[in-house]
Amino acid sequence: MHILFLHQNFPAQFGQIAAYLARNHGFRCTFVSENQVPDSPEIQNVAYGPYLGSTPESNNYSRTLELQVRQSSAAFAALHRRPELRPNIIVAHSGFVSSLLLRELYPETPQINYFEFFYHKYGSDMDFRLDLPKPSEDDFLRLRYKNAQLLLDLHNCDAGYSPTEFQRSQLPVEFQSKVSTIFDGIDTDFWSPSTHSQRAFGGVTIPDDHKVITYVSRGLEATRGFDIFLRAADQVCRQRNDVSVIVVAEDRVAYGGDCRFTNGMSFKEWVIDKYKPNLSRIHFVGRLPPSQLSKLLALSDVHVYLTVPFVLSWSLFNALSCGALTAASDTAPVRELIRHGETGFLFNFFDIDGLTELVLRLLSDPSRHQAIRHAARSLILSKYDLKVTLPKMLELYREVSKQAFGLR
């Protein structure tokens, strides 16, 4: 069986399943991406870059689609130059680079798409942060076109999957029957509770007598509630002098349009300038390598996670797998993992005082909540472990192949 994976980046969401199929089931795997990556014994790589992005002359509403079309046509051209590649299945991440054009190269080959997020004007990330300057009319008009490629892929694909029930529920109802819910998977042997003496991370040494509060995100931004967290962390530090806060994130905005109101500052700079928190015990360590991050999450006394209704972060799964005692925003994607008082604790996204009180309560008697930590870990083991999710993906791939070719 030869599977062709298509994604803007390597290895992204497909690295683990490709390695699993090659090692455990003898599949041949080809990975098509922008990256110039050397072949490995398990995965052959085809790079489709460089390509032209959208131009200043492009209509603002169609720039996302134009970028996706340019990437997709570059991927098509790269594969067109490789006629010896004849995959049995194509698996593509819809939203970055589309497999739509590959129908012309491989008309009989079934296509499976990974659907990460479908944008909505209401009840989603666009209108959730009513406490901040709202997006412009132009932003909402552009949103009308932002799902264009994903809609084409929903129509074109033979089957699809989304990582969580919330993310699947955002897809148009008429296409949901084509899409399964299968999470990417967590390596629970790596992301695990551990006892270790390390208390230095990213150049910051945590005093032995300090409690540790952690916050992890790709960027410091409104979508992940960084401003809410920082204000609550400041209040916690003012009430307890034995707390160190470790913020793991880059100073950038990965999602959303925070730059529309920050007056040229990063969102982090804007928040600090506006609220003037005491940063003496709030430490920004940038990105940490996974080996360090897993140790930090296992050490954490309270882990705080916030998100608007949007894609659920891998960091939350990793934290729960490490047995972190988690306080998380009571938003739809989070409720899929956090059951209040069972696998963690929920708070109103906008309630800074409520988050502060919750964190202080959890810090006051950590031994009381060991059952919560164990339940969080057990949830990941039972539903989101690679040992559970990868066989589900294999089953989907085989079923689609069977329907198309009668292969087993």
pLDDT tens by residue, 53-110 = 667 777 888 888 888 999 999 999 999 999 999 999 999 999 889 999 999 999 999 9
Domains 2-185+386-405 and 200-383 share a fold: yes
Class of domain 200-383 as given by CATH: alpha beta
Per-residue pLDDT tens for 178-221?
A: 999 999 999 999 999 988 889 999 999 999 999 999 999 999 99
Q: Check: CB of residue 327 under 8 Å from CB of residue 358.
A: yes
Structure tokens at 1: 């069986």
CA dihedral for 117, 122, 123, 125, sign (positive or negative):
positive
pLDDT score, position 38: 83
Largest distance between two CA atoms of the chain: 66
Say if CB 303 and CB 297 are below 8 A apart: yes
- State residue 91 phi and psi, 5-degree precision: -120, 120
The number of residues in the chain equals 408
Q: Is the dihedral of CA 89, 93, 98, 100 positive or negative?
A: positive
φ, ψ for residue 155, nearest 5 deg: -70, -40
Q: Per-residue pLDDT for 366 more than 80?
A: no
Q: Is residue 177 predicted with pLDDT exceeding 60? A: yes
Q: Name the pTM for this structure.
A: 0.94
From CA 277, how far away is CA 48, in angstroms rounded? 46
**Summary count for the chain: helices (H), strands (E):** 15, 15
What are 109-140's pLDDT values in tens digits?
999 999 999 999 888 898 999 999 988 888 88
Check pLDDT > 60 for residue 408. Answer: no
User: pLDDT at residue 46 above 50?
Assistant: yes
pLDDT band at residue 406, thresholds of 50, 70 and 90? low
Domain at 2-185+386-405: CATH architecture: 3-Layer(aba) Sandwich (3.40)
d(CA 300, CA 52): 44
How far, CA to CA in Å, does 77 sit from each of 10, 46, 47, 70, 285? 19, 11, 10, 11, 41
Q: Which strands form 211-219's sheet, in the order they lie side by side?
A: 282-284, 243-250, 211-219, 302-305, 326-329, 345-347
Give CA 29 to chain center in angstroms.
23
Q: Which two tokens stand for residue 57?
A: 């002359």
Query: Residue 127 has which token pair?
Result: 């209108």
φ, ψ of residue 354 to 5 degrees: the values are -65, -40
Give the residue extent of every domain in the chain.
Answer: 2-185+386-405, 200-383
| Beta bridge pairs of residue 212 | 244
Residues paired with residue 243 on neighbouring β-strands, in sequence order: 211
Are 288 and 281 spatial neighbours (Cβ–Cβ below 8 Å)?
Answer: no
Q: How far apart are the first and last CA of the chain?
A: 9
CA distance 244 to 282: 6
How far is 114 from 17, CA to CA, in rounded Å? 13
Nearest CA among 332, 276, 338 for reference residue 304? 338
Interacting residues of 128 by C-beta distance below 8 A, sequence separation 6+: 308, 309, 331, 349
Cα(397)–Cα(1) distance, integer angstroms: 10
CA dist 11 → 44, 55, 359 (Å): 12, 28, 36
Which band of pLDDT confidence, cut at 50, 70 and 90, is reported for residue 144? Answer: confident
Using CA atoms, how far apart are residues 185 and 20, in angstroms rounded to an integer?
12
